[in-house]
A and B are shown apart, each in its own frame.
Chain A
Amino acid sequence: MDRLNEVVGCFKQDSNIEILNPFLVNDRNTIEGKIRLTIENEQLDFGVRIPEEYPLQNLSGISTIFRCDQVEGYPHHFANDTICLIPTKTAMLSERVLEEIALLKLWVKKYYINKESDAHYHYLPFKYGDTKILTTLLFTEVDKIFNKGDFGIFIYSIMRRFQTVGNISELCAIQHFEYLGRPISCEWSESFRLAFAPNRCGGFWLYIDQEPTSAPYRIAENWTELAPLLSKEQIIFLYHHVEKLSQDVFYILIGYNINMHEGKQEVHWQLIKLDKNKLPFKAIVENNKITKFEYLTQPIHWSMTNNASYARYFGRGKLSDNITQARILLIGIGAVGSSLAASLARGGARHLAFTDFDIVESGNICRSEYSLLQQGHSKCMALEQQLLGISPFITLENLSLLMNGFPKIRPELPAFEKLKKLISGFDLIFDCSTDMEVAYLLDSMQLSVSVFNLSMTNGAKEFVCVTGNNIAQDKATIFSGLDNKEELIFEGHGCASPTFRAGYVDVNMLTNLALKNIDLKLKNNRLNSFVIRTNPNPNSFNLIVDDF
């Protein structure tokens, strides 16, 4: 049976379906036709279009396209009249057609006839108004409850602009809002805000409370549709401030409340791009006074926003609060230290201080978090850049100038107490320096905070985490029982600084397993040293965590 007959057969066998326009194969091998679906005496007509690749599906597209222009304002019914159905993937043509027919009937019954809505929220779909510069604006939570009719300016930073095929992509983040002349900070970390502070621009925000729609599930596409949702005060504010703008193109943020899962509400912001020379409204002036505004029939140029609140950013998985809420000090940011730092940042850590004396060299790249272009940078500066590229919520404290690696001060000297005071200010300390003198000095401080000393044997056969208040000695005891005889690598820097064998996968895998264990141990308040042993089986690779 050919494709056309198989498709037609599927539609014909359904008693709820009448074929209005016969199915035909057009010149692009697409099958098209029109059907009438009757359910509970309700009739709807759908254009049907089955693409060439069907029953396979392009990643960007919908499978069969059902288009209905008789109604609007229902869930999963887009502005271009198409219905969004999510069928199971299958390579069997008729199986897929039958499932899509079943899903279409379900859509009609659930949403059109029963007027049901989904428990989960759907962002309003829109098309980029400006297709030359595709802007995405990140926003996060702020310490303010917005009320209908509120307005003000907002400051944002352009974080990155890059050329893509046929257009430019631009990533921006809101720095802060201003309301009644007072700044309202976004809950990003200070480090993040400062890093992108130089590229700052201004825009306007208007809080309208309800979704900017022309009909249910349809975003307003024209200013005349949005106008009824804006207050006169908001428009007067815009009108007066736009004149003062130095740039022609500017942004307006439209804020509104959305209902998320389980009754949770959040503020969403949708971005509009405007040209001050083509304003969509004009003031009607009588006797030198603005009496009213008239809106022009002008399309709204929507742009993308992204809710990057902490809860969203780390909502899919994070480390426990014992780590994320702790003030963490990381001593030594070589292979293990930088890998740990990246995992801490990705795990939602809020505060990370770090110190190292070293610079990035080409040999570091294969097993650390540093990049090719960072060679010659101090590791601390390089890590700062890397971590700011991961989390906007992490406050970074580069202690390299203050500590220059780790100052070697004998415990009997007065300066040792100062160093101890500085170190005592942290809640968690990770010593990845592999310097036993550092371990000895930390032991000598008899700190009340948790210290974890992380290192490995040459060849990454074992990874050792030592904790407690006698780390130097315990580490010596544990290491004296490990196989650590692998030959060192000499790279021409003399006898003083040979290096060890281990690649990125070794370092990353072992460091992350150690971090996972530490997170668990902190959660259960059962801290102990442990060794991760690799199993040298030639056919497979296994890991064993051995608690001490």
Chain B
Amino acid sequence: MKFEKTNYLQGVLDSHKMKHVDDLIKSYQGKRKQIKEALERQYGKDIYSPINSGSYAKHTAINTKFDLDIAAPFKKKKFSTLEEMFDDVYNFFDRVYRYDDPDFSEVRKQGVSIGLKFIKDFKMLDIDIVPGRELRGDSYSEDKYMNLHANDNSSESQQSIQTNITQQIDHIKGKNAERECIRLMKIWKTQNQKKYIKSFLVELIVVRAFDNSNDIPTGLWDKLKMVLEFIRDNIEHVRLVDPGNSNNVVSDTMTKSQKREFKDDVKKILDKVEWRVENLKLYFKENPKFPSTRNNGYTRTGAGAATLGTNSFG
């Protein structure tokens, strides 16, 4: 069977769909609901409705790496400082909530979030809570802006970060083609351990690549190729800002050498696929746990069904 790039990539995406991990997602959703209710009970009128964030909320999740986060927007008057807010929420989980939830396993302070771990039905669940405070009294209902507390060990240098999660979610709402490319880029990043690349930056640069083009190609490979070429040609200079805060220059969070490395890496993909289309399989692989029927005709990409007949010598 002739190798067809778009068909192959569609198979890769299929195998990474969240629907394959439906049971796990249901566990996450149940736990997330429980946490939201606990926050609302604890903080009553001082908190607005917690909202879902993270890649699952943005529909950019892949089943090998996803986040179901909760943003907790607090009223201005509740805390005099952001640090007080952050510590109060941390203490709530550490000193109160842990005794009410038999699944509770661990709580820890992270960059702008509080990381929670649960063990439910022999599965580990990770949920991050992002506490935020509205900018002025009652402003959140109108503008959805929040200030986040950034811990010192965070990569952000600021102590406070303004953001707007609703705007971040809206930024890619309905952009199905962009989301497919974001998910492919995340698959590549995860499978090839490109830890230096931030997922948020991937989202922003993919959307920018599409915005930048007057003529969006039709096939999935051609769309991905357009994105890769945009990254190759622009990553070193492009300015990417948080849609929820124009002062948060996300592109500045990568160093010059990391940008160079990103450029080199995507150039390699483009060059190698240009040279030989089958090389696409080196960079984007199916999740072997959920193989797609689309790729049956090609050599299976998962370790589980490798063709073991290469004539190599040594």
Contact = CB atoms under 8 A, between A and B. Distances in A.
Interface stretch (A140-148, A205-213, A342-350, A455-463): A455-463
Nearest to A464: B312
Contacts of A469: 303
Size class of the A contact interface (CB-based, 8 Å): 35 or more
Overall SS of chain A's interface: mixed
Contacts of A464: 312
B192 A434 contact: no
A97 interface: no
Contacts of B300: 473
B312 A475 contact: yes
B314 A337 contact: yes
A15 to B, nearest CB: 63
A529 B303 contact: no
Nearest to B311: A484
A477 B273 CA distance: 12
Interface in B13-31: none
Interface stretch (B92-100, B112-120, B222-230, B275-283): B275-283
Nearest to B267: A547
The 5 A-B pairs of least Cβ separation, nearest first, read A455-B312, A336-B314, A500-B313, A436-B308, A472-B306
A479 B276 contact: no
A152 interface: no
Given A473-B306, A477-B279, A468 B313 contact: no
A194 B238 CA distance: 61
A529 B282 contact: yes
A458 B306 contact: no
A548 interface: yes
Contacts of B279: 477-478, 481, 548
A472 B313 contact: no
B77 interface: no
Interface in B292-314: 299-304, 306-314
A474 B283 CA distance: 9
Chain A CB within 10 Å, residue with most, of B261, B275, B300, B311: B311
A503 to B, nearest CB: 13
A440 B314 contact: no
B285 interface: yes
Nearest to A436: B308
B275 to A, nearest CB: 8
Overall SS of chain B's interface: loop
A476 B302 CA distance: 12
A526 B261 contact: yes
A529 B265 CA distance: 12
Interface residues of B, number: 27
Chain A CB within 10 Å, residue with most, of B261, B279, B300, B306: B306
Contact of A479 (B281, B306, B312): B312
Nearest to B276: A481
Contacts of A252: none
A385 interface: no
B268 A456 contact: no
B208 interface: no
A472 B308 contact: yes
A443 interface: yes
B144 interface: no
A437 interface: yes
A529 B308 CA distance: 18
A479 B310 contact: yes
29 contacts: A434-B313, A439-B306, A440-B303, A444-B303, A457-B313, A458-B311, A458-B313, A464-B312, A468-B192, A470-B191, A470-B301, A472-B303, A472-B308, A473-B285, A473-B306, A474-B282, A475-B310, A476-B306, A477-B282, A478-B282, A479-B311, A479-B312, A480-B278, A481-B279, A499-B313, A529-B282, A547-B268, A548-B272, A548-B279
